[in-house]
Copies of this chain bind each other. A is one copy, B any other.
Amino acid sequence: MKKLISSATVQKALQFIREQELLKNGDSVVVGFSGGPDSTFLLQLLLIIQNIFNLKIYAAHLNHKLRGKEADEDEKFVREFCKKHKIECLFDTKDIQKIAQEKKQSIEETARNERYRLFNEAAQQFKANRIATGHTLNDNAETMIFNFIRGSGVSGLRGIPVKRDNIIRPLLGLTKEEILDFLKKEKIPFRVDSTNFEDDYTRNFIRNKIIPLLMELNPSLFDTLSITADLLRLLEKYIEVEEAKFDKIFVAKKAEKLLRIKIEENVDYKNYLMMDLIRKKINSVFNVQIGYEKTKEIVNLVKQEKGTTIQINEKILALRESNSILVLVEPEFEEVNFSVTYDSKLQKYYGSYFEFKISSASVKEAKLSDNPYVEFFDADKVKHKLILRNWKPGDKFVPLGMKYSKKVSDILTDAKIPSIFRKQILVLCDGPEIIWLVGVRLSEKYKVTNETKKVIKARINYDFEI
């Protein structure tokens, strides 16, 4: 075994492992072992370099119960290999076809999920800190081509991750051909890839039809794509760090389904980060995947006027505010119609959006408010019951400082209230007459004057600034 360490293939794999820092001294590794050439080579490789890193080596094998007898023979091969090399292996059997039907997933997806579940179980049981899989340069090229065709951006073009959490892929620097050559030359037996369930239509099409054509133009395609993947991995790492710095412009309130994006000056050149982060944040806050076009529309709100809204989907809106872009779930219409008693202190309505409070106040205090959500009015002018209700078409009153009555709808338009918020604006009424278009305008009739003796203070608290 030791003499194999000088083989060019082993050396190439070792260099890759060192460059990518996949193993460190004393690591415990579970190998996902199907019995096929890649995972057989991976196990052999780890045995050959075991002493360099003082590795503890384990394996895990899932019998997928597909292709009947063949799968059982794979398992038998794995059992024998492990016995011979004294490797502890966790075995499991799952009826993938049945699970796939139950979960309404593809066979490939189900098989993959069940495999990684078993690998993690094995890692726990053996107290291993690494799971190694046998993905090769070929698998990487296929994935990259697939992602290039379907368009999955930078993160797709960097191919299969070399390292993610506790999973490592030590063979991503070798081609399948190099692996088969080594196995043949060293007369190491393996099972023909019968348990490879990744051979779905698309992957086979890429492997057998597309790659041979691409290789006519570039015979070193695998190496070329591997370099591209390396570069994009470096780029992604850089972008991640920069995004973490840029993250401060995002205020994500998951519980309230609200996302605020502060608009900074002169960061146009950061639009890539902006788009990437918006996509991620919207996914995290609203659990919605948005595409390139929508993301671009949201970014372009920066250049739009205050109050401009765009529809992200049937329920979610983005709104340009003065210094930020607000993404939120469009508020549903909720009927409000209740009698406000003079001594009511704290009342909460309309989902979680606001609370309405009314109390008495001094005449002096009445002159000081510049908060549009606080209003003072003359208590003696109130002749009927105080009613808080939704405004409705046809509502009108004489706004403060004016002589003639005006329609509520026109007042709202003039005040540039974004249409999505109009329907949730309320009116406080003295029976049939409007005292206050809440948050927007008081009635001239109810204003506090020098003759006012008793003042009512009304206040609406929003959970967030509109």
Q: Which residues of A contact B (CB under 8 A)?
A: 146, 148-151, 153-154, 157, 202, 205-206, 209-210, 213-214, 216-218, 221, 224-225, 227-228, 230-232, 234-235, 237-239, 241-242, 269-273, 275, 292
Contacts and interface: CB of A to CB of B under 8 A. Distances in A.
A152 B153 CA distance: 16
A275 B150 contact: no
A149 B216 CA distance: 10
Given A231-B275, A234-B275, A238-B270, 11 more contacts: A149-B214, A149-B224, A154-B232, A202-B217, A205-B213, A205-B216, A213-B213, A234-B271, A234-B272, A235-B272, A238-B269
Contact of A218 (B150, B237, B239, B271): B150
Contacts of A218: 149-151
A225 B272 contact: no
26 contacts: A146-B217, A148-B148, A148-B228, A149-B214, A149-B221, A149-B224, A151-B218, A151-B224, A151-B225, A151-B227, A151-B228, A153-B231, A154-B232, A154-B235, A205-B213, A205-B217, A206-B217, A210-B214, A227-B292, A230-B292, A234-B271, A234-B272, A237-B269, A237-B272, A238-B271, A241-B269
A46 B60 CA distance: 65
Contacts of A234: 271-272, 275
A345 to B, nearest CB: 53
| Nearest 5 Cβ contacts at the A-B interface | A151-B224, A234-B272, A235-B272, A227-B292, A241-B269
Contacts of A235: 154, 235, 239, 272
Contact of A210 (B213, B237, B239, B271): B213
A275 B146 CA distance: 27
Contact of A272 (B217, B231, B269): B231
Q: What is the interface of chain A mostly: helix, strand, loop, or mixed? A: helix
Contacts of A273: 238
A273 B272 CA distance: 16
Contact of A154 (B224, B231, B270): B231
A253 B337 CA distance: 78
A241 B227 CA distance: 24
A21 to B, nearest CB: 11
Contacts of A275: 231, 234
A216 B210 CA distance: 11
A228 B217 CA distance: 22
A227 to B, nearest CB: 5
B238 A153 contact: no
Contacts of A237: 269, 271-272
Contacts of A214: 149, 210
Contacts of A227: 151, 292
A212 to B, nearest CB: 10
A220 to B, nearest CB: 9
Most chain B CB within a 10 A radius of its CB, from A202, A269, A272: A272
Contacts of A149: 214, 217-218, 221, 224
Contacts of A216: 205
Nearest to A154: B235
A228 to B, nearest CB: 5
A157 B237 CA distance: 19
Nearest to A157: B157
Nearest to A300: B19
Contacts of A231: 153-154, 272, 275, 292
A221 B150 CA distance: 7
Contacts of A153: 228, 231
Nearest to A201: B217
